[in-house]
Amino acid sequence: MTTDDAQPQHAPTGRTTHDRIRRANLADASSGFEGLMPVDWIRDSGASVADTLALWDRGELAELPAGRAWDVVRMERARGWRTVQALRNAGAEVGPVLHTDAHVEVLVPAGSVADWDQDGASILDAGEAVAVPPPAVVAPHTLHARSWIVPPGAVLTDGMALYEAYAAAGVSQTMGGR
Q: What is the pLDDT of residue 178?
A: 46
Q: What is the pLDDT of residue 33?
A: 39
| CA distances from residue 91 to 118, 139, 143, 165 in whole angstroms, order as listed | 22, 21, 29, 11
- All residue ranges of the chain with pLDDT < 70 are 1-37, 172-178
Q: What is the pLDDT of residue 7?
A: 45
C-alpha 150/C-alpha 135 separation (Å) is 9
pTM as predicted: 0.77
Q: What is the pLDDT of residue 174?
A: 56
* pLDDT per position as a tens digit, 3-23: 444 444 444 455 554 554 555
